[in-house]
Amino acid sequence: MPDKSVLNSLDWNEVESHFRNRVKVSGELLRLHDDRKISAFAELAIGSTDNAGNYSAAEHPILRPRIGENLNWRGRVYDLTTKFRALTSANDVPDLITNAKLNYLQIGVGSEISCMVKPDVCWVCNVRTIWLHLAWTKGPGKAEEELRLYREGASDVQMAYMRWADVYHPLLRDTLIEVAAEGKTHAQPQGITASDNVFLWADAIASYAYGRYHGE
């Protein structure tokens, strides 16, 4: 049984506001990509011009300048996104990120780009969504323990041997779908009707659930 306590005491108006802004930025990214505004697109895709473009990058300030050290990084991010937009299944996302060979653009930042431009297919795989997955399936305390042991390099728990790309799998996807549906149930009594944009809605919930648990 899922541990639904992680959704308790969330301010669903805040979650909705976060979600609506992400949908807006997602639309802007698609417009810039369609218009081949390569520089503007790439800067927004890694959150340089707006944190909402990529919170995974925003939470780790070192990543943006490091990504910017890659040769022709803007064009390569643009081309990677073209491949994301052609996907009918998210299974290839980790390999596409790896094959792009952009230093410091890994599964967190990369999967977030994929979700922002293909939100009906792709999902975000970062600390917050993985924490939510673990908290939902095992409880918040276990999620904390497994993330801590992962960071410390332990070898006897799930997160210890999973690299970020390895946790981009259907179990995370299934959790996010369940969380999105449960989130709708919580939000509706407050007059909030979430859209069917499941993965961006679930990502907004993950962001606030993680933040609330950690006192942000």
How many whole angstroms from its chain centre is CA 108? 7
Tokens representing 51? 């944190």
* One-letter identity of residue 2: P
pLDDT in tens, 106-151: 989 999 999 999 999 999 999 899 999 999 999 999 888 887 776 6
Query: Dihedrals φ, ψ of 116, to 5°?
Result: -70, -25
Burial of 120 (0-12, 13-18, 19+ CB in 10 A): exposed
CA-to-CA distance for 107 and 164, rounded, in angstroms? 6
9 CB contacts (<8 Å, ≥6 apart)?
A: 212
CA-to-CA distance for 68 and 66, rounded, in angstroms? 5
Q: What is the pLDDT of residue 152?
A: 62
pTM (predicted TM-score)? 0.91
Q: Contact at 8 Å (CB) between 197 and 120?
A: yes
Q: Please provide the DSSP assignment of 5-19 as one string.
A: GGGTT--HHHHHHHH
State in Å, rounded, how far the first CA of the chain is from the last one. 27
Q: How confident is the model at residue 86 (pLDDT cuts 50, 70, 90)?
A: very high
pLDDT in tens, 149-200: 766 654 444 443 345 556 667 789 999 999 999 999 999 888 887 667 999 9
Q: What is the CA radius of gyration of the chain?
A: 17
